Structure 1
Amino acid sequence: MTKPAPPGKAVREIVPGDSRWAELTHSDNHRFAIVPDRFVLPRKGHQVVAALQDAVDDRLEVSCRSGGHCGEDFIGAPRRNLVLDLCGLNRIAATDDGQRIRVEPGATVGEVQKALFRDWGTALPLGACSAVGMGGLVAGGGYGPLSRQLGLVADHLAAVEIAVVDEGRKVRAVTARADDDGELGELFWAHTGGGGGNFGIVTAYEFRSPAHLRSGGRILPKAAGGLNVQKIIYPWAMLDEATFATLVGRFFAWHEEHDRAGTPEASLFATFFLHHKSAQFLQLMVQSDADIDVGGAILAEFVAGLTEGTAVFGIPRGGLMTWLTGTRYMSQADCGDVMGARSASKSAYHRSAPTGDQLAVLYRHLTSDHPGQASYVMVNSYGGEINRRGSAATASPQRDSTAKSSWFTAWLDPAQDDLQIGWLRAAYEEFFAATGGVPVSGAATDGCYINYPDVDLKDARHNRSTATWHDLYYGANYERLRRAKRAWDPHDVFHHSLSIEL
């Protein structure tokens, strides 16, 4: 049943027995169940403060979620008494002074993209997964198909509103701004890539872009007049090991060559899905800004260069589309094999292309005898505007990579847990065998992305390097994040298996 809201309080509380309970007890990854005593679904920031104060007073375990797309068990473990589901905090509006755009954490990427375009003709470099909530995306730095042009999402952050718990266990709402000094300034900085679930509960973000990315008096960058878009299928039947290595190697090489910010090539973004052979194809998704890449010549040259001189040809779809239609066409919505699925993922930042031996490892695992219709390595464009800033400018330290990879597998049957996770671990750890099974910061790689969390990095059986989990995610920024944690969450109210440590 649902607990009725007290008079004057528009807050929903859902407890066992309610018809919505089963849905709320699972987020995106069905490997993990979330079974608190109750869920609270606030609609206003002050309701978050009140619910959090009650939980702190009663010494309850508490966590929150916005879109529910965390890949690890951060929301349900340790077992929580209370989960604040922020889906009702989803408003998007200009601030009263008209100088910033205010976005609440429960708004999804798709909702924000549409609102920014329809209300102001603007854009942010949001992710391609349209159902992801803004709360977690921004806290982890955030990147997407516009990031080579516009940088990380957190590079556009101007302020963060957050409910925090002080030394006296008093909950209060604070606003930390980009130009704040002292501890407030450190709290703001911590939210530019320090990860979710560490310092408090975000109730709103405010965005105002760097001046060199704005024009015409806008608060945020102007949305393009259109997008050149292509989705291209490469059937596995056309590929042998040599041609596979050629396509993947050329993808990396192009990004190493075209890494500078502000160039026409920086308007191009590509995602290469290297699906397991049981899925029967690889898929390239690529887009470019039609106002810059007029006629799509840059995109066409990039695509043609991948297969030039080989017997492989792609099966293309797409063309020139208007901005919002093109953005939606290229998005990765919640659908298909990931719906209701169990999953596991890993990540890596790449400063240079993999070696021939690494590509041979990848080929072998992608062509192995494995039920891997939803198993893949996704390689994404990186660099450009992202790399204009230094590694300490935000909490996200990876500022000189040219590509980013996500290693992923999904399945439905719990009996396949060991099989599927075993395949993922074996592929990833052998690929990075020369650096202890993980992408240690060095000439070729630069650690991992906190928004693709992986608890294996804390396990010496899988991370055999001398780099700790926080070295891989945060590098030299970790100690500064720890100082912010001690200042703003001294009782470690907000914690999970990869949270910042006191």
Structure 2
Amino acid sequence: MTLPMSPFTVGPEDPRYLELSHSDNHRFAVEPAEFHLPRTPDDVVASLRKAVADGRAVACRSGGHCGQDFVGSPRRDLVLDLHNLNTVGRSAEGPGVRIGAGATVDQAQKALFRRWNASLPLGACSAVGMGGLVAGGGYGPLSRQLGLAVDHLHAVEVAVVDESRDVRLVTARADDTGDLGDLFWAHTGGGGGNFGVVTAYEFRSPEHLAAGPIGLARASSRLHVQKIVYPWAAMDEESFVTVMRRFFAWHERHGAPETPENSLFASFFVNHRNSGFLQLMVQQDADVDPEGKILRDFVASLTEGTRAVGIPRGGVMSWLTGTRYMSQADCGDVMGARSASKSAYHRATPTDDQFSVLHRHLNSDHPGQASYVMFNSYGGEINRRAPSDTAAPQRDSVAKSSWFTAWQDASMDELHLGWLRGLYEEFFAGTGGVPVTGDRTDGCYINYPDTDLLDAAHNRSEQPWHHLYYKDNYARLRSAKRTWDPLNVFHHAMSVEL
């Protein structure tokens, strides 16, 4: 067995190559001529400079959780895997923290809490990399209280390539104007793989949320956490539609910022019947509501007067333990699996007919090992900002959904893709098979990318893919692209166009 020439370079002969050649979604292989594993931002610049000078196709990867084939296709000569850029420390100037783009959500959240009793609204999936999470806007269980991750972004350090093929590190800050201001803004939800290689982020919370000298939001002392299982055997269609309608209606009533109800976040995993159950995961800040009345009333309201039966577990936990209890780690049936996903922002409750469509598809004959729709709480502090304040424009939704299926065998690709497409497109049949910007929906989340939106056979609406993700912000993103990546070095199937 041939060992690598350098501990920072991995080629096909290296025993690490097999692991690196797969990201989270095993439908797609990432098989470059070599991987580089930089340890510092200067390493990124050096690798990128040589690759550009040699005319080599290049891409980068943080946590590897992109659901589409944006890193491996078109085939790259070099992939920069950033997982070694994972330090968390104080900002060099003023309050705030600097977090390497290769740090995972778990690494960042633990460091923030243990060092400074601080928190950021990061995602629930602990293995996701910060580089990808923040690039797409970033949200999680604290977002109704604290907003999106990018609402706390203060600076971004990024390696860029200019027209003369020169590579340099640039730091763009929240108070920058002109081209630098556009570069910063583009990283507040413009998606990954578009403008350069992010090496680090700096965070400083908005003044009304910041606490203490670190300049970030304070972590609560305790959380109420509940996981409630609803057996499908006790869930007829009428009960199902009622529970779903009430879930959304509660969020419609409590979508404004600065209310006690913003301390509650819920993820409703509406699993296919072959799993045996549906599962609701709920957390609430116990410092806001020590008795947990908001959580208790929310959960009780969903099933009152229906046949549905909820089996709860959980309790009051310290903050870090509670967040880990609620996390969605990489484990179980999704590991090593092939998968597909879609998304939607919801401005209002779907119709009963739409919920009936969902019920029928979830009770169909389907062999999926992990097939579900996940409805997540949204709104609250997220909705304080205007659509153009950040590149992430969806600022008046009450819920967000993720549509997902996973399987192992490549021979079952069309079966599973067909099931997911059939469900999603029938659910949104009234708006061309996709959640257009309108009265009830507001497009899709770029961190759950879906190349079906490029295809007129699946997106039959009049809104192109980039409007579904970026709405009117796309023009400014294209302008930033022309300025900061004029050679289109960084591109993929759904990258911002020159």
Into which bin does the TM-score normalised by the smaller protein fall?
over 0.9
Tell me the distance in 2 between the aligned counterparts of 1:125 and 1:100.
Answer: 15
SS of 1:379 mapped into structure 2: strand
For 2:120 and 2:367, the matched residues in 1 are separated by 37
* 1:380 CA drift (Å): 0.1
After superposition, the C-alpha distances for 1:196-250 in whole angstroms (9 at most, x for unaligned) are 0000000100000000001234410000010000000000000110000011110
Aligned to 1:22: 18
Task: Give the distance between the partners of 1:372 and 1:256, measured in 2 at CA.
Answer: 32
Contact 2:95–2:213 (8 Å) recurs in 1: no
**2:114 is equivalent to residue 118 of structure 1:** yes
- Contact kept? 1:162, 1:203, Cα under 8 Å: yes
Aligned equivalent of 1:360: 356
Retained in 2: the 8 A contact 1:277–1:372?
Answer: no
1:332 corresponding residue in structure 2:
328
In the alignment, is residue 253 of structure 1 matched against residue 254 of structure 2?
no
Residue 5 (structure 2) aligns with: 4
Q: In structure 2, what residue type is equivalent to 1:34?
A: V
Structure 1 SS opposite 2:28: coil
1:98, 1:327 → 2: CA distance? 28
Separation in structure 2 between the aligned mates of residue 457 and residue 14 of structure 1, nearest angstrom: 34
> Does 2:463 correspond to 1:481?
no
How far apart, in 1, do the equivalents of 2:237 and 2:61 lie? 42
Cα deviation digits, residues 32-89 of structure 1 (max 9, x gap): 0011000000000000001000010011110000100000000000000000000110
Query: What is aligned with 2:197?
Result: 201
User: 8 Å contact 1:232–1:317 — kept in the other structure?
Assistant: yes
* Structure 1 counterpart of 2:90, from 89, 94, 98: 94
Partner-residue secondary structure (3-state), 1:483: helix
The CA distance in 2 between the partners of 1:234 and 1:58, in whole Å, is 57
Which SS does the other structure have where 1:274 is aligned?
strand
Instruction: Give the letter for the 1:254 counterpart.
Output: W
Cross-structure match for 1:497: 493
1:299 aligns with 2:295: yes
Superposed CA RMSD: 0.8
Partner Cα separation in structure 2 for residue 181 and residue 200 of structure 1: 19
Identity level (%):
68
**Equivalence for 2:62:** 66
> Take 1:288 and 1:51, find their aligned partners in 2: how far apart are those partners?
45
CA contact (8 A) 1:156 1:210 kept: yes
| Mapped partners of 2:212, 2:98: distance in 1 | 20
2:466 equivalent to 1:470: yes
How far residue 415 of structure 1 moved from its aligned partner, in angstroms, is 0.9
Corresponding position of 1:425: 421
Q: Once superposed, which parts of structure 1, at least 4 consecutive aligned residues long, lie more than 3 Å away?
A: none
Q: TM-score, normalised by structure 1?
A: 0.98
1:180 counterpart SS class: coil
Q: How does 1:91-170 map to 2 (within 5 A)?
A: 91-170=87-166
The Cα offsets for residues 300-336 of structure 1, whole Å up to 9 and x where unpaired, read as 0000000011132211110000000000000000001
* Corresponding residue SS for 2:364: coil
State the alpha-carbon separation in 1 of the partners of residues 132 and 284 from structure 2: 26
Q: Establish whether residue 267 from structure 1 lines up as the match of residue 268 from structure 2.
A: no
Give the Cα separation in 2 of the matches to 1:119 and 1:272: 32
1:311 aligns with 2:312: no
What is the TM-score of this pair, normalised by structure 2? 0.99
Query: How many angstroms apart in 2 are the aligned matches of 1:153 and 1:293?
Result: 24
Preserved CA contact (<8 Å) 2:377 2:400: yes
Counterpart amino acid of residue 281 in structure 2: M
How many angstroms apart in 1 are the aligned matches of 2:369 and 2:31? 30
Question: What is the CA distance between 1:280 and its match in structure 2?
Answer: 0.6
Give 1:97 deviation, angstroms.
3.3
Q: Distance in 1 between matches of 2:379 and 2:299?
A: 19
Q: What is the CA distance between 1:416 and its match in structure 2?
A: 0.7
CA contact (8 A) 1:362 1:427 kept: yes
After TM superposition, give the deviation of residue 98 of structure 1 in Å.
4.7
3-state DSSP class of the match of 2:208? helix
Please tell me the residue identity of whatever aligns with 1:375: S
1:98 & 1:387 partners in 2: Cα distance?
28
* Separation of aligned partners in 1, 2:188 and 2:386: 13
Displacement of 1:2: 4.3
